[in-house]
Amino acid sequence: MSTKSAAFFRAEGTVLAPGVLSATAYLASNAKKFGERALRLGVVALSAPLHGLLGQNDRTLGNRIAYLAFRGMSEDRIAELGEEYARDVLKDKLLDQGVELLKRARAEGHRVVLISDNIAQIMEPLLPHLPHIDDLVCNRLEFADGEATGKLLDPVIGGHGGGRWVQDYAARHDLDLRPSLAYGAHGTDLLLLAAVGRPCAVNPDFTLRRGAREADWPVLEYRE
């Protein structure tokens, strides 16, 4: 029987203050030409209300919509801006208490897994500032002929599939989920938290707060 365990962290809301829309707005606002910037920011602005509406119930669709703003942007430009956003913005928006939870999980011997709605071009450059991570799971853009199609590759991170994904991940890595931890901030994290023996809601939205109360899960509150 496996004796290894893991600590799963939903990055947005537990370790990072900004969410996906902050990232998409940054990259869109730094497109090379004025007309292109205006067009991409317009897509972000149109997607924001729907992303917010879906955020507690269907982040998969919300994330698909948010990344439509990148359609036609070159792979090189996205990589450049993603690294810039991670370096100049995101690393200063790390939540101190969330980072401490990462450190504690590593010190306790858990495999530390960071799950993010953001794309690899943003999250991978951030990893040097999060040395306690063993594995990063994040969204990945689809490219064709060197340009983003505006689509995310499957599986899209952020939806209700977190529970099944954790079980599959545990099977692949020979992990015991009973002593494992999970930290989530959104309603769509409910199944992720329910899959482990030690769940915790962090800065929860309305849906997760209600679910945590009904399940008698611990709740942590901290902000920037």
User: What pLDDT, in 10s, does the model give residues 174-204?
Assistant: 999 999 999 999 888 999 999 999 999 999 9
Could you tell me which of 217, 214, 209, 157 has the C-alpha nearest to residue 193?
A: 217
CA distances from 206 to 13, 17, 211, 218 (A): 13, 17, 9, 15
* Across 110-127, average pLDDT: 96
What is the reported pLDDT for 25? 81
Could you tell me which of 14, 41, 46 has the C-alpha nearest to residue 182?
A: 14
Residue given tokens 């689809």 in the structure block: 142
Query: pLDDT tens digits for 66-77?
Result: 888 888 889 999
Could you tell me which of 193, 161, 19, 1 has the C-alpha nearest to residue 90?
A: 19
What is the reported pLDDT for 51? 58
Q: Which CATH architecture has domain 6-220?
A: 3-Layer(aba) Sandwich (3.40)
Could you tell me which of 173, 175, 134 has the C-alpha nearest to residue 3?
A: 175
CA distance 125 to 119: 11
* Across 91-100, average pLDDT: 95
Query: pLDDT tens digits for 147-169?
Result: 999 999 988 887 777 788 899 99
Work out the pLDDT band at 1, boundaries 50, 70, 90.
very low
- pTM value is 0.88
- For the chain, give the percent of residues with pLDDT over 70: 86
Decide if 178 contacts 194 (C-beta within 8 A).
no
* Across 211-222, average pLDDT: 96
Decide if 209 contacts 219 (C-beta within 8 A).
yes
* Across 78-83, average pLDDT: 94
What is the reported pLDDT for 66? 82
